[in-house]
Chains A and B, each alone.
Chain A
Amino acid sequence: MAVKYLKLFQTEFRNLNEYKLDFFSRFARLFVDILITVMIWSAIFAVTGKSEIAGLDKYYFISYMILTRIITMGMGSWKTVETIEQLIFYGDLSSYIIKPLNINLFIFSKLMLHYLFYSVFGIIILLASLPIINILGFSIFIPSGIYWILFLISLFLALVMHMIFYYGIGLLTFWFGRVWSIISGVEMIERFFSGYFVPITISPTLAFISGILPFKYMLTTSLMIYLEKITIISAISQIGMQLAWIIILYAIICLMLKKGLEKFDSQGG
């Protein structure tokens, strides 16, 4: 059975590789994104004369911001929602329902490659370009052994959580028709409360609100583990929270899919 989903994984890899120019442009964009982010925050540290922002000194802060750009490159909210929206809106879902496939696993296999590939490849590129970064006068924090392992586990769970969340947004197509127009707004809220723009520790209120929402566990948790800003026990507990959120979100999408399929109708075969 696993072989079946692995085949889907391989097909998606071929699709990913189809438009090479687009593929490389994503990394070119990442480079621009990182460069501008470093420039912005270096300038803010310089003009305000602050030694730390949100509890992180410049060295940790810049490392944090660079990592946010790399990790979120793989978080394909648009790709996820559009995939689900097209399956439902154009009725393509019917051809998968009748096959002996677990629909959730099928879609996860299609999407997970994008999530894993860009995030992991981005981190590999970062590590490979460390000497160049050092020559340019910057340095990035690199965690020690155990934190690396915890970070990778947490990153994987964050990616799964993100995918399931946007899968749920895509499932709203059952009730609202096209939903692409809400992606930007939802993504903005998700990024704001996940610590993409600035670490959520900048404000106790922001940290509190983020703590009760799932978004913190999609980014901040992994980054704080990477930066060794939390203890190993606390990191394990945060990973536990990620797992709990995955179970909750998965239960919600299963329910949505069940209710949605009751409403679903497609013509032809």
Chain B
Amino acid sequence: MSNYIIKHAKLMKPYLKLGWHTWIEYKFNFITNTLTYAVFITLWLVFWKLMIGKLGIIGGWTNPMLTMLIGFSFFNSAVWQITWGTVMFANDVIEGKLDNYMVRPINPLFAMIAERLNLASIIPAMFGLGIILYTVSANYSFEILKILLSLAITLFAVFIIHIFFCLAGLSVFWFGKNNAFKIFLRGFNIVDEYPITIFGLIAVNFFTFVMPKIFIGTYPVLLLTNRTLGWGLKVFATELTIAAFWAVVLVFVWKRGIRRYESHGG
């Protein structure tokens, strides 16, 4: 097992090199992608500033908390963009390219993500991280363990989102070329910039266990502002359990789906 992990860690070097070359090749896209994030973050911060200005504290959520929520949301989104390869999974199946991953002694999911690393999103990820760190240091006590745990929670949320996109991609084995499940999944993105705990209990449970969006920003912000490290560890343990459950579902669906796969050529 350790050899397997070391081998994949070593493989990261050429993949990072490839990602770097792609990054510097498409300069216009890099600039516009960074500007797009800047626009998104600015307008969402203005939105919450307006809302707080008109409505006051929203269900216990203050302006610094909502600012951090935006930071986490866009940090999460940028990290997801860096590792966006799972979105292309369905295309690889349709075009018979899955062989490229399966004939090599590496993990197909790892290869799919690593070959398409979008390093241009590192800068937007830094924007998000900067907002989080600045807001914490300006308004709350700066506890390094809590910060690391909150980042771990949001990073595992990226992992869960990848599992969902892989599951959506696997639908091509049964339904042929389609974007239906991806389109449906994106419908839930709307909650990423809102504090989920202001919703009712049913919605909170739904966004914790079924569509685990609450780990993207809501729980990390609560951990950094008014919850204990112990509470954060419980949240993280819950998230790991949920991630493990969906990973098992993914492996199961993958095994069923791959039997239906037909490739063309070599």
Contacts and interface: CB of A to CB of B under 8 A. Distances in A.
Interface in A17-73: 19, 21-22, 24-26, 28-30, 32-33, 36-37, 39-40, 43-44, 47-48, 50, 53-54
Contacts of A25: 178-181, 183-184
B112 to A, nearest CB: 22
Contact of A203 (B50, B58, B183, B199): B50
A178 B28 contact: yes
B55 interface: yes
Interface string A225-262: 00000000000000000000000000000000000000
A33 B36 contact: no
B180 A24 contact: yes
A44 B58 contact: yes
B200 interface: yes
A189 B55 contact: no
B121 to A, nearest CB: 12
A182 interface: yes
Contact of A185 (B36, B46, B60, B187): B36
Contacts of A40: 190-191, 194, 199
* B interface, size bucket: 35 or more
Nearest to A47: B59
Contacts of A19: 177-180
B161 to A, nearest CB: 16
A192 interface: yes
Contact of B36 (A37, A176, A181): A181
A127 interface: no
A24 B181 CA distance: 10
B39 interface: yes
A82 to B, nearest CB: 14
Contacts of A116: none
A176 to B, nearest CB: 6
B43 interface: yes
B55 A22 contact: no
B178 A44 contact: no
A262 B59 CA distance: 57
Nearest to B51: A198
A175 to B, nearest CB: 11
A192 B184 contact: no
Contacts of A30: 187
A136 to B, nearest CB: 14
Interface in B171-213: 175, 177-181, 183-184, 186-188, 190-191, 194, 198-200, 203
B54 A178 contact: no
A53 B54 contact: yes
Interface of B: 28-29, 32-33, 35-36, 39-40, 43, 46-47, 50-51, 53-56, 58-60, 175, 177-181, 183-184, 186-188, 190-191, 194, 198-200, 203
22 contacts: A19-B179, A22-B178, A25-B178, A25-B184, A26-B183, A32-B188, A33-B187, A33-B190, A43-B59, A43-B199, A43-B200, A44-B51, A44-B198, A47-B59, A47-B198, A53-B55, A54-B54, A176-B28, A181-B29, A181-B32, A185-B36, A188-B36
Interface of A: 19, 21-22, 24-26, 28-30, 32-33, 36-37, 39-40, 43-44, 47-48, 50, 53-54, 176-178, 181-182, 184-185, 188-189, 192, 197-198, 202-203, 206
